[in-house]
């Protein structure tokens, strides 16, 4: 298979999935955040970026939306690099919680948040960064740390942005277009590990079973998925399932994993010929 024919096939798969799932109208937009209730539920974008910088996309790939919880792995990575694993792990655990993302349950015995992908853990991570870069600790500047967290979640991105961010993690922290290093590989390893076990709220087990790659979703409708040393996926569709994940985005990722052989434990790797020809 030539690179051009493989690229054509990958683009055809992306186009076909976008067309197929555009008619899937299950799920509801988030309404507990007023601004999220105002979005157009029909918007739908799918983007794939390889570690070589090839872009395949369909739909509303330049539609801005708020990043929300997709920001959590990236602040976790920042904290690991700035503060070190021992300090970060003394405040936040790495175990799946089995509870909803907005649960305030803490680990018994340690009183630490279960992991940095639930809100309590993400706020703790942001507070550590605020304390590091700011002038006072969280104990005296709690409202300021929360303000930083809310601003973090309100950053606007597109599905193309998410795919590029995912491709950078896939590329061991190096942006595939600019070549700039965003994260050290050791931080990327920890980021991807926690995304794999905890990144899709309390659907994370099913995601690992059906898709089998590290990912993070947000109630703004975005999903970011990372295929190690191959590519990054970014999707946007604001209709959410009961777990808070994009309904269309989940199904697109399931099908991309199946058709391109992306699942980390896919022994047959049935679709890898397309990727091996273009990477």
Active-site amino acid positions: 69, 72, 149, 201, 219
Nearest to 97 by CA among 213, 194, 211: 194
Cα separation, 211 vs 226, whole angstroms: 11
How many Å apart are CA 153 and CA 218, to the nearest integer?
A: 9
Residues paired with 47 in a beta bridge:
57, 234
For residue 246, give the nearest of 276, 275, 216 by alpha carbon: 216
Q: Provide the terminal-to-terminal Cα distance of the chain, rounded to the nearest Å.
A: 12
DSSP of 164-184: HHHHHHHTTTB-TTT--B-S-
Give, in degrees to the nearest 5, the angle at Cα 279 between 176 and 236: 60
> Which positions ≥6 away from 244 have C-beta within 8 Å?
30, 100, 101, 201, 217, 219
Task: For 134-157, give one letter per residue: b (16+ CB within 10 A) or e.
Answer: eeeebeebeebbeebbeebbeeeb
Query: To 5 degrees, how large is the angle CA 42–CA 46–CA 49?
Result: 160
Burial of residue 97 (CB within 10 Å: 0-12, 13-18, 19+) is buried
């Amino acid at each position: 298979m030539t690179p051009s024919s493989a690229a054509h096939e990958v683009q055809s798969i992306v186009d076909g999935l976008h067309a197929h799932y555009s008619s899937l109208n299950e799920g509801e937009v988030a309404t507990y955040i007023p601004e999220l209730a105002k979005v157009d539920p029909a918007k739908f974008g799918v983007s794939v970026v390889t570690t070589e910088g090839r872009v395949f996309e369909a739909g509303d790939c330049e539609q801005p939306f708020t990043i929300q919880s997709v920001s959590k792995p990236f602040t976790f990575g920042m904290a690991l690099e700035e503060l070190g694993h021992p300090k970060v792990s003394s405040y936040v655990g790495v175990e799946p919680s089995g509870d909803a993302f907005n649960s305030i349950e803490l680990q018994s015995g340690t009183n630490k948040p279960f992991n940095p992908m639930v809100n309590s853990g993400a706020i703790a991570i942001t507070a550590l960064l605020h304390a590091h870069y700011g002038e006072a600790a969280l104990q005296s500047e709690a409202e300021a740390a929360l303000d930083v967290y809310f601003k973090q979640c309100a950053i606007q991105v597109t599905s193309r942005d998410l795919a590029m961010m995912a491709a950078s993690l896939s590329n061991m922290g190096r942006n595939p277009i600019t070549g700039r290093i965003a994260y050290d590989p050791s931080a990327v390893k920890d980021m991807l590990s926690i995304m794999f076990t905890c990144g899709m709220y309390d659907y994370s087990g099913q995601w690992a079973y059906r898709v089998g790659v590290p990912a993070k979703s947000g109630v703004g409708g975005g999903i970011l998925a990372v295929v190690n040393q191959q590519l990054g996926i970014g999707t946007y569709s604001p209709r959410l399932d009961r777990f808070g994940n994009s309904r269309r985005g989940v199904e697109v990722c399931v099908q991309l994993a199946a058709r391109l052989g992306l699942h980390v434990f896919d022994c047959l790797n049935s679709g890898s010929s397309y990727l091996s020809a273009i990477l």
